Structure 1
């Protein structure tokens, strides 16, 4: 080897100190990977990873979800008692951010904009899904290269945990949706349903309210899992969901010790609020009564009949209606020829629909009479009139229409069917469905605040 060649080799080789530094850095990286991997392998989960990261830095760290809620954070770090960082403000002051980037984002301190110290932000993501933000604040010491590496690798392992949990949640949801379908169809062996329910931690024999939400024409399918989660949070009970033939089915467990009629009213109110919050205030929703598990198949058919009644006749704002609101007449109203149903209403109570003085009072009294189980005393109390006035008005109805609603069962059924159509259409003399059980706007406010 020539002298020149030997000199070239010796001058191009890195110094021993640089090699030692690189070796030490790789050793630290390897140790970090082993520690984070050990937490994951031991089932430490998301909080375990965050607490491990917190042990490796003197600065406070937070894991914040896309809804800006703190998922986990440093437990005990000097100076970490100040409020959680405002991720939106940090991102806004930093400027355009490449969420798909592989390096942490360093946001400088900007006291004029409410950012008192530097922060490191690292998106926790996998593919196109952003699970959370990992945020480290410069409080106890200057942010270092080691901390940037720590945040980077922690985000990688956290993304893996989130992805696993998402797959588990999806498998669990699919199993719950299958159980809901089995309960509604009612043709699976009872012991099979019981085994599946026990595995999922669900009571197979619980009484439930079945809610059927009809699909809107041309609208995208609803997210059943989200609907279940929101209703469960509102009502505080177990909710199963699945797809029906032309809509979404929710099975809402009825709590023990709550009156059935009152719980159905709570479900109706919760569904009205939910559909309004989703931007679908005109959604068509049928609600069953509190139903045994063995009768859910029938409840499904009945709620579909309710939906048909609403679609055919409801013109008012009431689009969430219970099976018990309509009664057995819903079968005729849902399936009868539309023109024939309207002629029927005219034939039965047409004499009360011409707008003559007093006819509105007669209609309201007639409806109240049926809503109170044909009780003259309760009707007088609800209407605020004397019992004899109720009797006189029913006699006037008899004179005008020929309906003897006080004693003739056929006339009672005819009148109730006609009034049902008028109620669906929002006739001004007929009170809303909730007044059938004495619920008022005051009751609604109470249920809402509760």
Structure 2
């Protein structure tokens, strides 16, 4: 880069210039050593120059800046405009890039632009604008050394954050495995500021087959942060056998069914937002810490059920949506399960007149806890119509779902497979608890 002003040829002036740079280095080093952090370094730089400076992150957000410059407050520079005519090679050196004024493109003054990076990781951009005084060689040196110290500070913070993340991931693994002594877990949780005895919902996210590797060092780290912000709760995360595990803390006073539904909705939104809408997700019920190991097994069974039978976009399903029949559906021979469905309710699958109503009524009967009255209310029909349809089911299939426990289990297992497959006569899983639209969901969670 051509320096804003050439170095002095006078040895005395050159000596004084080097002394000033040495003083700058001592000042920046003292701020770093004293724990001033990123904000402290930017403040120190601002005090060493009359021109305004900005620290801008890769998402073009201002991290820190000079407060004011000689009574005038200037808008942050557009980094993309400053970079428009410069390639990566122009920024590969140890010196800032001098960007000339280009009024036609909206760049009305000269700028010094320096990437704050360490190895291949870009943390931010440090920008100085020529506002209060002409840019000098000392300004260039100041920006270069400030970028070096800022990069060191960012690297330290990244290492600290990674150590904290690793500790939290270890705690999540301990909670799920349940092999560590309770007092050891309590001590680790207290150190990390985590409530060890809180109720949690365990979310198991299966890895997407064929998905491209993420740029994130830990997919579970970024996803857990998104879930925490979306739900406003503490979320621990770690890796499972073939996916990631999220432990979502349940807020005090939350109804269990409604909160599980909120978690499901959040996972659908966030996975779509990060480009993984096809991920299969199992969601546990509200679980005490001692039962998290079982919740992990149950959510993996949910994932197996969905992967084997689901033909629709509904791939975020709770353990309670499937019930105990998931054991057979998840682990049974695929052909045997399909034959079982045909044997149990095949007479209702031939598309004959009224069979769709019989299937819908049968599913509603189980979703309402075998309540004729509630089934009639939910379907908008008379209670006697529900009884007549149950009698018709008995006639066609031989299933006495009103009073025989074995027949009830057989019918529920067969219906579960149809629900996973997205049979048009079977309502979606969320309708099992009456969640039909955003308004109703809001009422349930209020």
Asked if TM exceeds 0.5, the reply is yes
Distance 1:17 1:356, change over 3 A: closer
Asked if 1:426 is matched to 2:422, the reply is yes
After superposition, the C-alpha distances for 1:396-438 in whole angstroms (9 at most, x for unaligned) are 2122112222222222111111110100011010011111111
- Tell me by how many angstroms 1:17 deviates: 8.2
- Equivalent-residue separation in structure 2 for 1:125 and 1:409 (angstroms): 66
After superposition, the C-alpha distances for 1:136-166 in whole angstroms (9 at most, x for unaligned) are 1222222222211111111010000011111
- Equivalent-residue separation in structure 1 for 2:210 and 2:353 (angstroms): 45
TM-score under structure 1 length normalisation: 0.92
- Equivalent-residue separation in structure 2 for 1:153 and 1:285 (angstroms): 48
Query: Secondary structure of the residue that 2:370 maps to in structure 1?
Result: coil
After superposition, the C-alpha distances for 1:230-276 in whole angstroms (9 at most, x for unaligned) are 11121111111111111111111111122111111111111112222
Q: Which residue matches 1:284?
A: 280
Instruction: Report matched runs for 1:20-419 at 5 Å.
Output: 20-78=12-70, 81-94=73-86, 97-219=89-211, 220=213, 223-419=219-415
Query: Secondary structure of the residue that 2:114 maps to in structure 1?
Result: strand
Distance 1:118 1:79, change over 3 A: farther
- Equivalent-residue separation in structure 1 for 2:90 and 2:233 (angstroms): 41
Query: Which 10-residue stretch deviates more, 87-96 or 176-185?
Result: 87-96
Asked if 1:441 is matched to 2:437, the reply is yes
Checking the alignment, whether the CA contact within 8 Å between 2:344 and 2:397 is kept in structure 1 is: yes
- Equivalent-residue separation in structure 1 for 2:158 and 2:87 (angstroms): 30
Distance 1:446 1:90, change over 3 A: farther
Number of matched pairs: 433
- Equivalent-residue separation in structure 1 for 2:330 and 2:250 (angstroms): 27
Query: Secondary structure of the residue that 2:113 maps to in structure 1?
Result: strand
- Tell me by how many angstroms 1:378 deviates: 1.9
In structure 2, the gaps of 5 or more residues are 1-7
TM-score under structure 2 length normalisation: 0.93
After superposition, the C-alpha distances for 1:60-79 in whole angstroms (9 at most, x for unaligned) are 21111111111111123336
Checking the alignment, whether the CA contact within 8 Å between 2:301 and 2:330 is kept in structure 1 is: yes
- Equivalent-residue separation in structure 2 for 1:102 and 1:38 (angstroms): 22
- Equivalent-residue separation in structure 2 for 1:305 and 1:380 (angstroms): 32
- Equivalent-residue separation in structure 2 for 1:17 and 1:428 (angstroms): 86
Checking the alignment, whether the CA contact within 8 Å between 1:209 and 1:288 is kept in structure 2 is: yes
- Tell me by how many angstroms 1:96 deviates: 5.4
Query: Secondary structure of the residue that 2:307 maps to in structure 1?
Result: helix
Checking the alignment, whether the CA contact within 8 Å between 1:79 and 1:140 is kept in structure 2 is: no
Checking the alignment, whether the CA contact within 8 Å between 1:423 and 1:433 is kept in structure 2 is: yes
- Equivalent-residue separation in structure 1 for 2:42 and 2:287 (angstroms): 45
- Of structures 1 and 2, the larger Rg is shown by 1
- Equivalent-residue separation in structure 2 for 1:273 and 1:34 (angstroms): 50
- Tell me by how many angstroms 1:445 deviates: 8.5
Checking the alignment, whether the CA contact within 8 Å between 1:91 and 1:97 is kept in structure 2 is: no
